[in-house]
Structure 1
Amino acid sequence: MICQTTGWGGQPIKSAAHASPDSSDPHFDISTRLTPQTQSRRLRITFAGSTSDILPWKFTPQQREVRVLPGETALAFYTATNLSKEEDIIGVATYSVTPAQVAPYFSKIQCFCFEEQRLNKAETVDMPVFFYIDPEFLRDPNMKGIDTITLNYTFFKAKYDKNGHLRPVG
């Protein structure tokens, strides 16, 4: 939560200014952010995925990259396969954005991260992420010269602690 609030470590910020459509603020209008900035250069969004050493899954992006205008929505997919032939496994993904200073402008509308993903033995599933780059990106002098942004997910095997809370392991 600290990373999502501050943008530390390349975590996209979840704030009123960069809220998703289900924002609790009744005055928030996401449509003000979702206007493609046609006078802008297109940004190259690349995708990466990995798993922890103890999670027997294969996890990869389905596309290498997409090119988007700030304010334009994009849909990307990752594929996860449980390589275990003996057990169903629950995984939880974390994500980051690089370069880290872009994180406040990378807004996910829908994503699979931080939620339990249960894959049955030998099961393969597609996982979507729907996102946009906030147009405010263009007004930040620190973003000048940034043309490529990488969205990276890492899956961890999920375990429950003694209090019944889900936590990633390894």
Structure 2
Amino acid sequence: MQQLREPFKEGNRNILYYTISIILGTVALSYGSVPMYKMICQTTGWGGQPIKSSGHASLTSDPSVRLTPVETSRRLRITFNGSVSDVLPWKFTPQQREVRVLPGETALAFYTATNQSPTDDIIGVATYSVTPGQVAPYFSKIQCFCFEEQRLNKGETVDMPVFFYIDPEFLRDPNMKGIDTITLSYTFFKARYDKNGHLKV
């Protein structure tokens, strides 16, 4: 009887280890550091971060050329989303539902954040994403509030600008054919710090 139970004990032990590994991996990904997230985005273009890699020279050419609106192009519809994590008592919303831009044309959008805590000043940090994901390398932000600490006093409301453009190279990419709507989404998290005082989410 004891010999029959041994394989079941071993199987249960393996399932336990597997479950713990999944839980730890999920927690690590959910609370990964902002600097690591930013570095990955800058290297790959994932999440809409402008690519910094030297392998993407066509996307990092003379800015004056890239900032010339392509008048012959269709206008692209840019929509906006805003959310906050469950533990952050802020209200965070875009001030506009959408804007329509030509590739190469700069646009300015605003989000509004309010610290709804009646007692605490709170520091938040935003991450963002661009959908559809394949548009990310072409969505270039000249100025934005992502990855930077934003301190709001109790009850304070602030406007946060996003100054951006769609790189004209978007029009040359066959994978962009049929894409007319792009969504920019921001999520704010409560800033946390490790024992060395480095920012993490």
Q: How does the TM-score come out when normalised to structure 2?
A: 0.76
More helix, by proportion: 2
Q: How many residues align?
A: 159
Aligned-residue offset at 1:32: 1.2
Match of 1:54 in 2: 87
Kindly report the root-mean-square deviation, in angstroms, between the aligned alpha carbons of the 2 structures.
1.2
What's 2:41 paired with?
A: 3
Partner of 2:50: 13
Q: For 1:113-157, what per-residue CA distance to the aligned partner results, in whole angstroms no more than 9, with x for missing partners?
A: 000000000000000000000000000000000000000000000
Q: Give the 3-state SS of the residue equivalent to 1:36 in structure 2.
A: coil
Question: Partner residue of 2:197?
Answer: 164
Q: Choose which of 156, 163, 175 in structure 2 pairs with 1:123.
A: 156
Q: Which has the larger radius of gyration?
A: 2
SS at match of 2:191: strand
Q: Which runs of 4+ in 1 moved over 6 A?
A: none
**CA–CA separation in structure 2 for the residues paired with 1:143 and 1:31:** 23
What is the CA–CA distance in structure 2 between the aligned matches of 1:31 and 1:56, rounded to whole Å? 41
Q: Residue 75 of structure 2 aligns to which amino acid in structure 1? A: R
Matched residues in 1 for 2:77 and 2:84: separation?
A: 24
Matches of 1:76 and 1:91 in 2, distance apart? 20
**Residue 40 of structure 1: how far off its partner (Å):** 0.1
TM-score, L = length of structure 1: 0.90
Which deviations, in whole Å up to 9, do the C-alpha atoms of 1:47-82 show, x marking residues without a partner? 000000000000000000000000000000000000
Show the counterpart of 1:22: none
Q: Which blocks of at least 5 consecutive residues in structure 1 are unaligned?
A: 20-27
* Per-residue deviation, residues 62-121 of structure 1 (Å, max 9, x unmatched): 000000000000000000000001000000000010000000000000000000000000
Which position in structure 2 is the counterpart of 1:96?
129
Fraction of identical pairs, as percent:
83
